[in-house]
């Protein structure tokens, strides 16, 4: 329990498989069984028209697939991995894609992104709308996180990632 409390604190930025949030407070409250638990309350960052507050018990923060934002070292590594050649015989495992995305691991998401770019490159006419949506969502998610950390425009980050991946699949 102490380990979790020491890992996150009010003001920290966290991310799930969709959005970036900021922890706004920590309060003790009773759950449905009248047990008092400590909760983190967090709000989406950058969505000016959305003022929603979410909460999760402090002890369950890791189970909820929330994590700290990646650091500069991980960003550098992601860019390096984005430009690594991909095996053209690689096939995306669609059964595990959503499960992998919910894990909220940028390295694993990048692998899926590269596989989807490759499949789209192989035959754009057979690239389904669902695959296009998944590709766009992953690209947006990774780009948003990198842009938020580096303070660079999202479009520039997206262009760089796309360019590196395009080189890797050729």
- Per residue in 98-143, pLDDT (tens digit) is 888 888 899 999 999 999 999 899 889 989 999 999 999 999 999 9
Query: What does DSSP say about strands 13-15 and 67-68: parallel, antiparallel, or unpaired?
Result: antiparallel
Give the confidence band of 1 by pLDDT, cuts at 50, 70, 90. very low
Domain limits, the chain:
2-67, 70-169
Instruction: Lay out the sheet containing 36-44: strands in order across.
Output: 54-57, 36-44, 20-30, 13-15, 67-68
Residues in CB range of 55: below 8 A, 6 or more apart: 39, 40, 41, 42
- Per residue in 39-95, pLDDT (tens digit) is 999 999 976 666 789 999 998 887 888 999 999 999 999 999 999 998 877 766 677
CATH no. of 70-169: 1.20.58.1290
Pick the CATH number of 2-67 from 2.40.10.170, 1.10.150.530, 3.90.1010.10, 1.10.1750.10: 2.40.10.170
């Amino acid at each position: 329990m102490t380990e979790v409390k020491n890992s996150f604190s009010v003001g920290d930025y966290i991310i799930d498989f969709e959005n970036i949030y900021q922890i706004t407070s920590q309060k003790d409250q009773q759950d449905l069984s009248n047990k008092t638990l400590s909760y983190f309350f967090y709000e989406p960052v950058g969505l000016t028209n959305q003022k929603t507050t979410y909460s999760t018990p402090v002890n369950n923060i890791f189970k909820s697939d929330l994590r700290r934002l990646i650091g500069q070292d991980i960003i550098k590594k992601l860019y390096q991995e984005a430009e690594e050649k991909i095996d053209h015989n690689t096939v995306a495992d669609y059964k595990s894609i959503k499960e992998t995305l919910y894990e909220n691991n940028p390295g694993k998401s990048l692998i899926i992104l590269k596989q989807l770019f490759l499949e789209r490159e192989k035959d754009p006419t057979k690239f389904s709308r669902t695959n296009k949506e998944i590709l766009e969502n992953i690209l947006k998610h990774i780009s948003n996180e990198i842009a938020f950390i580096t303070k660079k425009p999202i479009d520039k980050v997206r262009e760089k990632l796309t360019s590196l991946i395009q080189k890797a699949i050729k």
